[in-house]
Amino acid sequence: MLLKISYAKLFFLLSALVFVGAAQADEDLVTPAIPGVSAGGVIIETIKEGFKGTEGPIGYLDGSLLFTETQDNRIVRIAPNNTVSTFLENSNGANGLALNASGEIIAVQTLKPQVGIVYPADKQKTFAENFEGAAFQRPNDVVLHKSGGIYFTDSGTRPTKENPNPPPSHPGVFYLTPGGELKRLANDIERPNGIQLSKNEKVLYVANTLGEHVLAYDIAADGSISNRRNFAKLDGWKKDDNGWSSGADGLAIDDNDRLYVASNAGIETFSANGEALGVIALPKKPQNIAFAGRDKKTLYAVGRGSAYKIPLLAQGFKGRAK
């Protein structure tokens, strides 16, 4: 009788352990198998939660990741070992970031809306704060061309609980030439957000948060753009209480010119031709993404106060910090 009870208890304990293990496995979000992009079943790591205003990630020179906390007015560093520290205080609400050849960090900034160098402190400089006398509204994202030209977006204004009646919105895509001349390249996108360049820097990608597609443009020798087209159809396109939106936000590319898009669906991946390859789901909707690390085989995502780390098969493009 005692032997039977022992076996019964053993069976119960083993069953409980299997159940707990299965439940734990269910809690771990893993990557889908996307050929060339991600192996199936790799755990997506949550580095930390509780950030305020997660945006603007870039791979930094030492293999770490930098991103912005717009609400806390600072730039944060995540070391390769996941240690989190403050990189820069008082960033003027830095949003999107870029890194130039001299190691200076260029940011689009939101407290006093402008574009310029925020780091190092002795090199801080404002490049532009208005277009034709109209102040920028919400500078959002930025990418640096190898020529020294700067492409950035201003997503305009939108109603919030704190400000239900903001000034009329005038969103746009802008270009600062290497010589410092500011040009508006587009003013017909409902809410331009993330911005990115192809590897050869002949194509400009723009995420339209309120649109169903990522947009693409051809880039001319003078930095101007033409031939607007729908590059990739987004799986995140859906209707909520505020209407239809894809949630398209940050963009990244890998060394094979695949495009990665933070959207309502997660991280959507596309071939260089705009073919949908698969979606990497996350616990919370991502806002922006970037490859980082010494080999740039880690994709980081930030959004809704959280930061995630995703080991990939794909390697990020090493020719730019973003």
| 265: containing domain | 30-311
- 101 falls within a domain: yes
The mean per-residue pLDDT over the stretch 289-299 comes to 97
What pLDDT is stored for residue 76 in this prediction? 98
pLDDT digits (tens, 9 = 90+) for 263-287: 999 999 999 999 999 999 999 999 9
pLDDT of residue 298: 98
Q: Is the pLDDT of residue 235 over 70?
A: yes
Confirm whether 35 is domain-assigned: yes
Sign of CA dihedral 101, 322, 55, 26: negative
Contacts with 143 (C-beta within 8 Å, 6 or more apart), sequence order? 98, 150, 151, 152, 195, 196, 197, 320, 322
Q: Exposed (0-12), middle (13-18) or buried (19+): which is 318, by Cβ within 10 Å?
A: exposed
Find out whether 208 and 214 touch, Cβ atoms under 8 Å.
yes
Question: What's the rounded Cα separation, in Å, for the pair 186 and 224?
Answer: 10
Show the tokens assigned to 272: 């260089």
**Rounded mean pLDDT of 232-261?**
95
Q: Quick one: pLDDT band at residue 307, thresholds 50, 70, 90?
A: very high
Whether 254 maps to a domain, the answer reads yes
CB contact at 8 A, 199 and 255: yes
Q: pLDDT category, 246, cuts 50, 70, 90?
A: very high
In a domain, residue 25? The reply is no
pLDDT for the residue numbered 27: 57
**Is residue 15 in some structural domain?**
no
- 316 found inside a domain: no
Q: How many structural domains compose the chain?
A: 1
Q: Maximum Cα–Cα distance for the chain, whole Å? A: 91
| pLDDT tens string 18-63 | 333 433 333 579 999 999 999 999 999 999 999 999 999 999 999 9
This prediction's pTM: 0.91
pLDDT given at position 164: 84
pLDDT band with cut points at 50, 70 and 90 for residue 160: confident
pLDDT at 16 over 80: no
- The whole-angstrom distance between residue 46's C-alpha and the CA centroid of its chain comes to 16
Q: Is the pLDDT of residue 91 over 50?
A: yes
Residue 4: inside a domain: no
Q: Look up the CATH number of the domain holding residue 125.
A: 2.120.10.30
Does residue 142 carry a pLDDT above 90? yes
Q: How many residues does the chain have?
A: 322
In a domain? residue 195:
yes
pLDDT at 244: 95
Range of weakest confidence among 20-29, 200-209, 309-318: 20-29
